[in-house]
């Protein structure tokens, strides 16, 4: 007993992609069979049918139309599945027997490229982990849609690895098949990330330019695993990937997973949206790529004072030039996503409308440069001077592409008149031919006196003259040759009409073929500009984030903080920036904060709903705002530069991990105490409330003593245990 040849071909290909839905191209549809069909029909809510499988009888089948496939792919990927896209790699019209088919791409959460499947203001990071024999983790990650790639390494520490993966919000993580299942389970639960496997720690020599100059052997293996997986799944040009940038964790403020969640920096604890987060407050960016850079800055606040103050200088300057900033925002609004457009160009799936967006973006660069040049500030002027307008590409696109091209690149109508002489000849023949047809129609109406005579076209008979039955008696003898009889009309042709038809159709066919060829050639030419386009995107993104900081700081009446050299914190009339935004300036009660080497731990008491947690959070958010280069919500602020922020705020069971409120509380508190330094900020909210009163009070007292005597971190500790105040005073 055997399956049909086509089903045998399907099964052979499916055997190589057991972890993915195989979308098998059959004509105008992608079909799925067997278990894939049964499962996909449920997930996609499409009809499950059956197909003859040969001797095996009917087999389950479902399908989706090829022109709408991306929407179905996005739905499955968002549910955590992979798709192996299997195409016909031969023209069925030129092939005898079975058409050859191959998987041309595997699409997963970390390799999405389609614009509808991606959040425009968030990166989509694919990460690879290597456990090196030196007992170090190597981590490499990239955003395939933008080309960004980075790598780092650190001693083997699962929590540190999880924190770093959560910092980049990795959507897919590539690991060796031997990776500990406990770690994989934590990645799935904490990050909701897809796990993929690849055992390689080497890759082809063609990728050596992507290794960067500063990476070590641990990072080299991680980058190699990442690139090996991309080669295996994408099977196409990756020329838009940028060399891996090495970074060190200790060059940024560390904020662990729990603290980011508690402080609602980029994600709300009430849901997955941005509403009510620090990111929501700060995002006045005008471009998608500026929005992504803002999120990157919030994920990694700086600890280098000079770099922070450079950003502060730029923000202060933007605040000063209000009207010029409005001009800048107008220009930025018209800049499309240069990074992701570059990625689509490299992938070969860019259409003519994408190139129009690219052209329109480049046309705004001179305006951006001109506005920055008008601002009497050397730093802002330098930001403008660094922007390369990529004028050669802009001029080429202005010459080549029409203003409103169709979506489909095989429909024609993309290339501007005057770009190619041969194409102009074909299109002139088409347009003149159609004008000739209109003139012929008018002429024949006058000769015959038949006012409703018309010239039409169909694919079977070509061009024809149609006359209704009621007017057939008016047709001059031997003027026309009868071609087709309809129920209420007759269709005729003439030798002259058939000759013109030949000229028009030949011109249309040649025009479409040449236009498609010219577009493919143009797309390849644009590839050569990917590197300057990516550099331009980075420059515009930075300008966009800085103007966003200025806009928010001015609107919310923030102040520029200064940094102390002796670990002093002195905040006057500080506010929680997000709460204030929601309540408004009139309703918010501001608070001071004074901490120094003699006053490094504050004990906060008060009834429920009195604002203890809000006060603590506002101090942490103020530190983060200051260290990303933004101004802060206060009338005056002197801050230390913190190396880490730890929080234990709020009570919630971690039921998925099987941990009680008390266990979660102790784990988070232990993480802070074990890893904090004298330059850290710790926020503990009612530690010990998850157990008996005296046990809780003993725990709280022990932690206070340990932090005060051994850690020396700036600490805000809220409590209902009023007895602790007597202990501190004593």
Cβ atoms of 604 and 685 closer than 8 Å = no
Helices (DSSP H) in 334-454: which residue ranges?
A: 338-347, 352-374, 378-385, 391-400, 421-448
Burial group, residue 484, by CB count within 10 angstroms (0-12, 13-18, 19+): middle
Instruction: Say if residue 612 carries a ligand binding annotation.
Output: yes
Q: At what angle do helices 352-374 and 391-400 cross, to 10 degrees?
A: 140
The reply to whether 349 sits in an annotated binding site is no
Burial 141-179 (b: 16+ CB within 10 A, else e): bbbbbbbbbbbbbbeeeeebbbbbbbbbbbbbbbbeeeb
- Nearest in space to 34 (alpha carbons), one of 54, 55, 14, 64: 14
Q: How far is CA 211 from CA 140, 242, 432, in A?
A: 11, 9, 57
CA dihedral sign of residues 30, 31, 36, 42: positive
Residue 149 counted as an annotated binding residue? no
611 marked as part of a ligand binding site: yes
* Residues shown for the chain: 730
For residue 121, what are the β-bridge partners? none
Residue 135 annotated in ligand binding: no
Contact of 485 with 505, CB cutoff 8 Å = no
Q: Which residues lie below 8 Å from residue 531, measured CB to CB, with a gap of 6+?
A: none
CA distance 344 to 355: 10
Among candidates 639, 719, 720, 718, which has minimal Cα distance to 679?
639
Q: State the Cα–Cα distance between residues 148 and 125, nearest whole angstrom.
A: 9
DSSP 8-state symbol, 93: G
Closest to 122 measured CA to CA, from 337, 365, 333, 420: 337
CA distance 167 to 190: 12
DSSP H or E stretch at residue 543 = helix 530-555
Cα(109)–Cα(19) distance, integer angstroms: 13
Q: What residues contact 184, with CB distance under 8 A and at least 6 apart?
A: 175, 195
As given in the structure block, the two tokens for residue 112 are 């999405």
Percentages helix, strand, coil for the chain (3-state, rounded to 5) are 50, 20, 30
Task: Please tell me the distance from the alpha carbon of residue 456 to that of residue 493, in angstroms, as a whole number.
Answer: 11
Handedness of CA 213, 217, 222, 227 (dihedral sign): positive
Residue holding tokens 């139309």?
65
Torsional sign, CA 306, 312, 315, 320: negative
φ/ψ of 129, rounded to 5, equals: -115, 140
In Å, the largest CA–CA distance within the chain is: 122
Tokens read off for 596: 């120094």
Cα distance between residue 227 and residue 239, in whole Å = 12
Tell me the three state secondary structure of residue 440. Answer: helix
Residue 440 and residue 480: Cα distance in Å, rounded? Answer: 13
d(CA 579, CA 73): 39
Measured CA to CA, the distance from residue 546 to residue 90 in angstroms comes to 51
**Is residue 609 part of an annotated ligand binding site?**
yes
Residues annotated within a binding site: 606-613
Residues annotated within a binding site for ATP: 606-613
């Amino acid at each position: 007993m055997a399956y049909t040849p086509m089903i045998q071909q399907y099964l052979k290909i499916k055997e190589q992609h057991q972890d993915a839905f195989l979308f098998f191209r059959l004509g105008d549809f992608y079909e799925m069979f067997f278990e894939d069909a049964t499962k996909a029909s449920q997930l996609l809510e499409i009809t499950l049918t059956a197909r003859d499988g040969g001797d095996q009888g009917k087999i389950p089948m479902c399908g989706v139309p090829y022109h709408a496939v991306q929407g179905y792919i996005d739905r499955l990927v968002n549910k955590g599945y992979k798709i192996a896209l299997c195409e016909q790699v031969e023209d069925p019209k030129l092939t005898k027997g079975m058409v050859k088919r191959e998987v041309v791409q595997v699409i997963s959460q970390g390799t999405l490229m389609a614009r509808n499947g991606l959040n425009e203001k968030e990166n989509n990071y694919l990460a690879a982990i290597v456990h090196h024999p030196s007992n170090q983790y190597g981590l490499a990650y990239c955003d395939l849609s933008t080309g960004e790639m980075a790598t780092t390494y650190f001693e083997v520490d699962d929590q540190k690895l999880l924190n770093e993966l959560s910092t980049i919000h990795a959507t897919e993580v590539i690991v060796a098949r031997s990776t500990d299942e406990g770690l994989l389970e934590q990645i799935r639960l904490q990050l909701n990330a897809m796990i993929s496997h690849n055992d390689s720690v080497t890759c082809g020599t063609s990728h050596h330019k992507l290794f960067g100059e500063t990476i070590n052997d641990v990072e080299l293996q991680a980058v190699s695993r990442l690139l090996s997986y991309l080669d295996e799944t994408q099977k196409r040009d990756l020329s838009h990937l940028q060399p891996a940038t090495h970074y060190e964790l200790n060059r940024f403020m560390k904020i662990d997973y729990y603290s980011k969640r508690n402080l609602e920096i980029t994600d709300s604890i009430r849901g997955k949206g941005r509403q009510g987060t620090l990111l929501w407050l700060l995002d006045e960016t005008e471009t998608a790529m500026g929005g992504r850079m803002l999120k990157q800055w919030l994920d990694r606040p700086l600890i280098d004072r000079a770099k922070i103050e450079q950003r502060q200088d730029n923000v202060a300057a933007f605040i000063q030039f209000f009207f010029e900033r409005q001009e800048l925002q107008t220009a930025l609004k018209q800049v499309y996503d240069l990074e992701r457009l570059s990625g689509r160009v490299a992938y070969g799936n860019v259409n003519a409308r994408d190139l129009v967006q690219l052209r329109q973006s480049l046309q705004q660069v001179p305006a951006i440069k001109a506005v920055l040049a008008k601002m009497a500030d050397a730093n802002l002027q330098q930001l403008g001077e660094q922007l390369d307008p990529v004028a050669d590409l802009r001029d080429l696109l202005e010459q080549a592409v029409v203003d409103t091209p169709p979506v489909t690149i095989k429909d024609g109508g993309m290339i501007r008149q005057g770009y190619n002489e041969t194409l102009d000849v074909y299109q002139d023949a088409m347009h003149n031919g159609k004008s000739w047809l209109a003139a012929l129609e008018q002429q024949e109406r006058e000769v015959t006196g038949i006012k409703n005579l018309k010239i039409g076209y169909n694919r079977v008979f070509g061009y024809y003259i149609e006359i209704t039955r009621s007017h057939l008696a008016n047709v001059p003898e031997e003027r026309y040759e009868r071609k087709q009889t309809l129920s209420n009309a007759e269709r005729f042709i003439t030798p002259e009409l058939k000759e013109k038809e030949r000229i028009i159709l030949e011109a249309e066919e040649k025009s479409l073929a040449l236009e498609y060829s010219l577009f493919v050639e143009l797309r390849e030419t644009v590839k050569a500009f990917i590197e300057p386009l990516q550099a331009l995107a980075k420059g515009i993104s930075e300008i966009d984030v800085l103007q966003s900081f200025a806009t928010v700081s001015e609107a919310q009446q923030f102040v520029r903080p200064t940094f102390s050299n002796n670990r002093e914190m002195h905040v006057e009339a500080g506010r929680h920036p997000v709460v204030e935004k929601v309540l408004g300036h009139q309703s918010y009660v501001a608070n001071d904060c004074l901490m120094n080497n003699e006053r490094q731990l504050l004990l906060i008491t008060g009834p429920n709903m009195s604002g203890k947690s809000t006060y603590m959070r506002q101090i942490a958010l103020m530190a983060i705002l200051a260290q990303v280069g933004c101004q802060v919500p206060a009338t005056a602020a002197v801050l230390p530069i913190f190396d880490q922020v730890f929080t234990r705020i709020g009570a919630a069971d971690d039921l998925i991990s099987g941990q009680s409120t008390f266990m979660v509380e102790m784990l988070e508190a232990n993480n802070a105490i074990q890893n904090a330094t004298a330059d850290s900020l710790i926020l503990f909210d009612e530690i010990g409330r998850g157990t008996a009163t005296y046990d809780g009070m003993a725990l709280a007292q022990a932690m206070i003593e340990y932090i005060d005597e051994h850690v020396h971190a700036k600490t805000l500790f809220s409590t209902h245990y009023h007895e602790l105040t007597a202990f501190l005073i004593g």
